[in-house]
Amino acid sequence: MSYIIELKAVNKVYGKGNNTVVALDYIDLAIPQRAFTTISGPSGSGKSTLLNIVGFLVAPTKGDIVFDNEKIEFDDFDTMADFRLQKLGFIFQSFNLIPVLSALENVMVPLMIRKDIGVDERKQRAEKLLTAVGLGDRARQRPDELSGGQKQRVAIARALVGEPKVILADEPTANLDTESTETILRIMRDINEQFGTAFIFSTHDPRVVNYAKQKVSLRDGRIVAN
C-alpha cells in the first residue's frame, strides 16, 4: 500500500515551562493515496492540530511528516508556502469566499499567484470545475446570491482548481442543512473516485463519518480507533 501522508511519532506541545498542553501525544498515522478520511473526537482532542500539521501550517514539536514520499522540512518557510500552494486545497466551515468576487473569480483565486498557469487556462479550469459541482449556470453570481450549500460547492471548486493531491476540510458541513450536506458529500466522493484526490476531514458530523473510507478517532491527543 502506498501512502499520501505518513505521520511518524508526531508530538505537539503548546506552551512552555509549567504551562504546557500536549495536543498530540506521539501519534502514528498512515493516510493512503485516494483517501477519504475523517478525523473525529471531542473538542480539545487534537483534531485541528492534526489538520494544521498535515496542512503544513503548524510544525510538530517532535516526529516526522512524510508527504508523497517526501519528508517535510517545516523550518523552510518558502518551500512550505510553495508546497502548500501546489499540493493542497482547503475547505472551511464558513466557506471563506470573497464577497465582492463572482463565483468564477472566487474559484480562480488560488491560481492568481501561479505564474505557471496562464489567464485563459485559469478561466477554463474554473469554469470546468464550477460545472463539475453543478454550478455552471451560477458563475457570474456573487456569494451573497448563493445558498450555503452552493457557497460550499464554490469552495470545493476553488480547493480543486490547483489540482492538489490532497484537500483538507475543516468541519465542511457544520453550517449546512441535511440536503446540502448530502449533495456536498456526494460531490466530494465523486471527485475522490474520478480524480483520485484525497480528502481529509475534521468533523463531528456522523453523516460525514458514514461516507469515510478511513475513520480516525482522537481522544486526548491519541488515536483511539482507526
Nearest Cα residue to 184 out of 206, 162, 157: 157
**In the chain, what is the greatest distance between 2 CA atoms, to the nearest angstrom?**
57
Residue closer to ligand ADP (CB basis): 133 or 208 = 208
Q: Is 224 in the site for ligand ADP (CB under 6 A)?
A: no
Angle at CA of residue 15, ends 13 and 17, nearest 5°: 105
Which member of 9, 14, 121, 177 binds ligand ADP (CB under 6 A)? Answer: 14
Residue 19: CB minimum distance to ligand ADP, A: 9
Cβ partners under 8 Å of residue 127, min gap 6:
104, 136, 139
Residue closer to ligand ADP (CB basis): 52 or 141 = 52
Residue 15: CB minimum distance to ligand ADP, A: 6
Residue 182: CB minimum distance to ligand ADP, A: 25
Which grid coordinates belong to 143? 456569494
> If DSSP codes are grouped into helix, strand and coil, which group holds residue 185?
helix
Residue closer to ligand ADP (CB basis): 18 or 43 = 43
Residue closer to ligand ADP (CB basis): 47 or 122 = 47
Please report which helix (H) or strand (E) contains residue 154, including its range: helix 148-160
Backbone torsion region of residue 65, taken as left when φ is above 0, otherwise alpha when ψ lies between -120 and 50, otherwise beta: beta
Which member of 15, 86, 195, 213 binds ligand ADP (CB under 6 A)? Answer: 15
Residues 22-81 that bind ligand ADP (CB under 6 A): 23, 41, 43-49
Residue 215: CB minimum distance to ligand ADP, A: 15
Strand stretches in 41-141, DSSP E: 62-67, 70-71, 88-91
Contact 173, 156 (CB under 8 A): no
Residue 124 burial (CB count, 10 A)? 11
Contact 49, 12 (CB under 8 A): yes
Residue closer to ligand ADP (CB basis): 15 or 196 = 15
Residue 165: CB minimum distance to ligand ADP, A: 23
Residue closer to ligand ADP (CB basis): 53 or 103 = 53
Residue 199: CB minimum distance to ligand ADP, A: 18
Q: Where along the sequence are the contacts to ligand ADP (CB under 6 A)?
A: 14-15, 21, 23, 41, 43-49
